[in-house]
Amino acid sequence: MLPTALWDIYENILRSLGRNEALSAQWREHLPFLMELGFVNGDGALSETGRVYFRQRWVLGEIEAAAGQVKQALLGHPMTVLVCQVFHGRGKITRQQLDDLVCEQGLCAGKEAIGRFLSILNRFRIVSYSTKAGSFSGLEPVPPVASRGRASSVFLSPQTPFTNVQRFRELLGSARGEVIWLDKHFDRKAFPLIADCVDGERISAVTLVSSDVNCSPAARTEFSLLRDELAVKGVNLRWLVLRRSDMRDVHDRWLICDDWVYNLPPVNSLFGGQAADLMEIEDAAGRRSFALEIGSRGSEVSERPSAPVRPPGPLTSPAHPPPAPPPARARGRRRT
């Protein structure tokens, strides 16, 4: 959701809501952006964050503290994450480049909406935007999830292959409770991420659900080593594997924890620098039950594969002894 007004209008709306004044129909049309920032709840009233902002901005007159609160909220907005991730440190960026990026991500928006958004980011010193030149530069890198709050969606761009993996690492690092990763093409490339991000203080168990398409002997060996390592941290790691034909109709990929569930790109897309996104979706409990029901149809990877056993040689019996080898040729000169 991009802004439908400049920040002055949003500020007036927040002040009116804080004073319990009725909003005009025109002002109510601007509420969705404030809802996405977390200042307004679903009933159109100030959220707890909005009330803190009202108190800081007008009751206490702490203008800088209030501005800092807006900046933090903006840094968690999906479009801000995209702009900072792709353009931070790249110098002057034209509006056309931003338009092309937005369309590449399937979020095509009007030029007026993008202009308003850049103006708001400029006001809170997230970018430096010149309306006259039609260009901007990023002033802020993307802060980690822990400091900006969890975004409802995170864009993965081909221009930032390293950062794409880092964004996912931050998301996995924010998970709590019992984690389920459902991906029928799960690949062992993701094992290092699990090793780095999972610890027993936040996570008690991790269950992987996939088909057998990438469950190779090498993957089983690495899984066994990782399982033993996480067990020392108090984390129970399982891998439930189904025949690929049994997951033919499963197309979604989810990362589920106690508090949330995200739709994921394939592991190979994540590491391959492809355009994708991590999108929060609803009903974590329902999707957990569905993922575990699918996993119950498979088998659990339990032990490391043993060394291959050489097949026995051909059997012989006393009735049919093996033929005797030919006599060795005598060496030396033949007598005459």
List of domains in the chain: 1-74 (no CATH), 76-140 (1.10.10.10), 150-300 (3.30.870.10)
Alpha helices for 177-273 (secondary structure H): 191-197, 217-232, 267-271
Q: Is 181 helix (H, G, I), strand (E, B) or coil?
A: strand
| pLDDT for the residue numbered 332 | 47
Contact present, 270 and 165 (Cβ < 8 Å): yes
Give the strand order in the sheet containing 127-130: 93-94, 135-138, 127-130
Strands 299-300 and 93-94: unpaired
pTM recorded for the entire structure:
0.60
Alpha helices for the chain (secondary structure H): 7-18, 25-28, 31-37, 48-54, 63-75, 78-87, 95-104, 111-123, 145-148, 161-173, 191-197, 217-232, 267-271, 284-295
Q: Is 31 helix (H, G, I), strand (E, B) or coil?
A: helix
Residue 227 contacts by C-beta under 8 Å, 6 or more apart in sequence? 237, 238
CA distance 156 to 277: 5
Burial of 271 (0-12, 13-18, 19+ CB in 10 A): middle
pLDDT in tens, the chain (336 residues): 789 999 999 999 999 999 999 999 999 999 999 998 999 998 999 999 999 999 999 999 999 999 999 998 998 888 888 888 788 778 899 988 888 888 877 766 778 888 999 999 999 999 999 988 889 988 777 655 544 456 677 778 787 888 888 888 888 988 999 999 999 999 999 999 999 999 899 999 999 999 999 999 999 999 999 999 999 999 999 999 999 999 988 888 999 999 899 999 888 888 887 778 888 888 889 999 999 999 999 999 985 544 443 444 444 444 444 455 555 444 444 444
Placement of tokens 């338009």 in the chain: 99
Residues in the chain: 336
Identity at 154, one-letter amino acid code: V
